[in-house]
Amino acid sequence: MKRVVAQGTFDLLHPGHVHYLREAKAMGEKLHVIVARSENVTHKQGPVIADAQRVEMVDALKPVDEARPGHTEDIFAPIEEIEPDVIALGHDQHHEEAAIAEELQRRGIDCEVCRASPYEPDEEMVLSSRQIADRIVSHRS
């Protein structure tokens, strides 16, 4: 069975998240999703939604076979446990494929690193958790 790992913050779910997870699932038979812990989100503003709630919401999505929180200190620890065949990155995630592949090789993890395609929304869709939060504030002010 071909195992795929996807990862992300998944704060305020939107159609871009679903697109990413559907593509990740299509790369194999079983999709494991690692949901970043709030304390590890340092490349952007931290999530609004608590860790456990984000894991529960992602786990409920149809393409996802298992969702779990990320490790507090070593982001590769869950990957070592899952032993995936593929790591699927979101099209706009800040991770560098070459750096991930190098660390996987250093740890003896043999898997492919792929990047999902961008999602092309219609003009009404908002595909950013920050934009969703901003829209809520502007509509409620």
Q: What is the CATH classification number for the domain harbouring 84?
A: 3.40.50.620
CA torsion angle 94 131 68 52 (round to 10): 140
Q: What percent of the chain has pLDDT over 70?
A: 98
E strand map for 1-141: 3-8, 30-35, 66-69, 86-89, 112-115
Whether 95 has a binding-site annotation, put simply, is: no
To which residue do tokens 């149809």 refer? Answer: 62
pLDDT tens track for 96-113: 889 999 999 999 999 999
User: What global pTM score does this model have?
Assistant: 0.90
Which pLDDT score is estimated for 117? 94
Please provide the average confidence, as pLDDT, over all residues in the chain: 91
Work out whether the CA dihedral 55, 58, 60, 65 comes out positive or negative: negative
Strand pairing category for 30-35 and 66-69: parallel
Assign 40 a pLDDT band (cuts: 50, 70, 90): confident
14 is in an annotated binding site: yes
Give the range of the structural domain holding residue 99, as residue numbers without chain letter: 3-140
**What's the domain count of the chain?**
1
Residue 70 assigned as binding residue: no
122 and 95 in contact (C-beta within 8 Å)? no
